Amino acid sequence: MPLEPRSIDAELTSSQVLQGERVAFTGTLASMTHAHAAQLVAEHGGSASEHVSRQTTMLVVGEEGWPLDDDGGVSVKLQQVEEWQREGSSVRTINESDWLLLLGLTERRDEIRRLYTPAMLSQLLGVSVHVIRGWERCGLIHPVKKVYRLPYFDFQEVTSARRLSQLLSAGVSRREIEASLKQLAAGKHGSARPLEQLEILARNDHVVIRDDHGLYRPGTRQRLFDFEPPTDESEAPDEEDLDEVPTSIRFELARPAEVWSSRDWFSQGCRLYDEDRLADAAEAFRLCLLTDPHDPEAHFHLAECLYRQENVAGALERYYAAVENDREYLEAWIQIGALHREWGEPESALDAFEIALDVHADYPEAHFQKAETLAELGRAEEARPHWVSYLRFDSRGPWADLARQRLAETADDDPLVNGNV
């Protein structure tokens, strides 16, 4: 049975809130490793166990992704505990957020609810930024908010999508995953959202995931070797009728070509881009711009295509075109700064990062990139406030680790170092 909030509040009065508790964990914790969690249990008077047993008094359910095993079934630990609960056992299940609240770790709890930009998620998950943008386009993930075109995502929703795609690509049936998700939702350890994500992954041919071996469609587990659209079955002849198909050529009357709008070409470009057909995607974005030359998003996406084709000069020019048509296009300014930095032009990079911060003072990547650029110029003291600012938004990703390292290297006695930001 889930732990009631009232019980949590009552136990907060004790400094040893886990006194006498035997605690186990299941699923991936979003706030820390299982080893760190076990240490916290001991510090608060309890004992941690890797496995559940009749002596277990509390099972903490991690909130990164969902507590699903590799076969798509609900975590064995969770199933065992729920069976004991039905038999009358007093063992409790508690979600990670409530467990952190129980320990008084409100900052850690808030970290789980933090919002992340595509670049931050890319660092955390090891997934390319363009793949994350593709997930957004197909509805697999939804931004919680957008600031000057910059989307912010809920970390749990993104990790949920990634976990579901991994299960599907590993051959777990949609039916098995769906049954597990419904079971979790019934036990208040899930929601309807992953079921919606599963539906998108299973039926949408345009959802593309990249792993170490290339691109694949998680719904079918098919690698993307042939990008031609599938033949319409209603127009294809039956095998037994193939011999009867006439060999003569049928001439159609001339018909006016279908006229596509700029939005049509933009959507086509995005689809081709998601399938890694970069040259074709670039052509589609150019055709979009022929109709609407002032579309900043088309310029931005064309720049992305060119950059991935190693045409850095062309990409930089298109990123500039994007901000010429929308000065507040944050991601374009960051890309401009990154390319100038890549070309060994740090002063121009700083200009771009500063403009981004003028537009949105709380833009995490702009703070991080500006700090790194200042450090490269030997201006570490000017960089320090920006590393500190970045750590306000991210405390656990690779960039956060690097920011703490930089702060430690420039001032060993700084109280903001060692993960306390």
CATH number (domain holding residue 392): 1.25.40.10
Q: Could you say which of 323, 343, 372 is where a domain stops?
A: 323
CA dihedral 263, 269, 275, 278 (to 10 degrees): -170
- Quote the distance between the C-alpha of residue 76 and its chain's center: 26
Do 361 and 385 fall within a single domain?
A: yes
Do 142 and 195 fall within a single domain?
A: yes
Q: State the CATH number of the domain containing residue 184.
A: 1.10.1660
How many domains does the chain divide into? 4
**Which pair of tokens denotes residue 289?**
């711009």
Do 97 and 11 fall within a single domain?
A: yes
Q: Could you say which of 271, 294, 323 is where a domain stops?
A: 323
How far separated are the first and last CA of the chain, in Å rounded?
A: 35
Task: Answer whether residue 405 is part of any domain.
Answer: yes
Do 344 and 391 fall within a single domain?
A: yes
Do 46 and 95 fall within a single domain?
A: yes
pLDDT in tens, the chain (421 residues): 444 444 444 444 445 788 989 999 988 887 788 899 999 999 999 999 999 999 999 999 887 766 777 777 778 888 898 899 899 999 999 888 888 888 888 777 766 677 889 898 888 777 788 888 887 887 778 888 999 999 998 877 777 777 777 777 777 777 787 777 777 766 556 556 666 666 766 665 445 454 455 544 544 445 444 333 333 333 344 444 434 444 343 434 344 456 899 999 999 999 999 889 999 999 999 999 999 999 999 999 999 999 999 999 999 999 999 999 999 999 999 999 999 999 999 999 999 999 999 999 999 999 999 999 999 999 999 999 999 999 999 887 899 999 999 999 987 545 444 444 4
Do 128 and 99 fall within a single domain?
A: no
Contact indicator for 136, 143 with CB cutoff of 8 Å: yes
Do 219 and 132 fall within a single domain?
A: yes
Do 13 and 107 fall within a single domain?
A: yes
Q: Give how far Cα 341 sits from Cα of 90, 347, 372, 378, 419, Å.
A: 59, 8, 10, 15, 28
Do 295 and 340 fall within a single domain?
A: no
Find the domain containing 273 and state its range: 260-323
Q: Could you say which of 112, 137, 155 is where a domain stops?
A: 112
Do 346 and 319 fall within a single domain?
A: no
Do 350 and 339 fall within a single domain?
A: yes
